[in-house]
Amino acid sequence: MPSFRYVFADVFTDVPFAGNQLAVFTDARGIPEEQLQPLAREIDFSETVFVYPAEGDGHARIRIFTPTLELPFAGHPVLGTAFVLAGPLQLDELHLETGADVVPVRLERDGSRIVFGWMRQPVVVPEAYEQAGELLALLGVELSGLPVELYRQGPGHVLVELESPESVATLRPDFAALQELSPYGTDCFARDGGVWKSRVFVPAHGVGEDPATGSAAGPLALHLARHGRIAFGDEIEIRQGAEVGRPSTLHAVARSPEEVEVGGSAVVVARGEFRL
C-alpha cells in the first residue's frame, strides 16, 4: 500500500493553532488523479496543496484544492507551501508554478528559520459587480463605503466596505443564500484604527468563513489604493479569523495596479503520511 507524506502548516500566523490551516503533499507524483479531490475533502482544510516537479522555470509546480474543487491560485496555499519547501531547499526566493502564473515568494530568515514571506500575486483587473444590491440585502447592509467590485483572483472575491469593525464582527450571513447568489467569495472589511478588519465568506467553494485569505488581501490593498483610501505603495495590515477562533495577520501592498504583494508568516505544526 503506497504512502504519501504530508505537512500541516498554519499560515498567516507565527504561532500554532491560529491562521489558516494548510496541508501540503510534498511529492504528489504517485497519487492517482482521482484521489486528489477526495484527499482534500478528507482533510477538510480551506485548501490542500499537491506538489509536483516544475514544468517550466519554477522550482516546483503546485495544484490547489478546496474541499470541493481545484483552484488556479490561492494565497495562503502559495505562501505556506513556500515555507514548507524552502527550508530543505535553502532558498531565499522560491518560484511556484500555479494554474494562474508563476508566483515568486521572497523569504526572510532569522538564522536558519524562515520568519516571513512576500508573494507577488498574479495581476487582477477589477470589475463592477452587477448583483451588489442583492448581496448587500443578503448581508443586512444598507450600503458599501466604496464601490462593490469583483476581483477574480483565486476563487474570486467581491469587496464590501462596512462602516466599522463592529459591523464586520457582527455579520451573520446565510451561507446557503450566499452560495446560491454567487460562485465568488465575499470580503467584508472596515478600517480599525491603523489596521483593517476583514471577514471572508466562500461557501460556494466549501468554506463557510475563511480564517485568512491571501487572494482577497492583495485585491483589498489594490481596491483601497484605487479609490484613494490609501496611496499606492502603502503597506496595510489585515486582521482576520477571530470569529472562527483562528486569528490571522496578513500584510499587503499595491505598488501599482500591476504589482501587488501579500506577506505573512507560517509555522509547520505536523507531519505524517496517508496510505492509499
Instruction: Enumerate the active-site residues.
Output: 47
Other C-beta atoms closer than 10 Å to the C-beta of 112 total 7
Q: Rounded to 5 degrees, what angle do the CA atoms 57, 63, 69 make? A: 150
Give how far Cα 60 sits from Cα of 38, 51, 113, Å.
23, 7, 21
User: Minimal CA–CA distance to 114: which of 134, 135, 133, 87?
Assistant: 87
Q: Which residues neighbour 27 within 8 Å (Cβ) at sequence distance 6 or greater?
A: 4, 5, 51
The CA–CA distances, whole Å, from 247 to 12, 13, 15, 111, 117 equal: 9, 8, 10, 26, 18
In sequence order, the β-bridge partners of residue 189 are 161, 198
CB 216 within 8 A of CB 187: yes
Residue 122 C-alpha cell reads as 498574479
Could you tell me if residue 166 is left (phi over 0), alpha (psi between -120 and 50 degrees) or otherwise beta?
A: alpha
**What whole-number distance in Å separates Cα of residue 158 and Cα of residue 181?**
12
* Cα–chain center distance at 116: 15
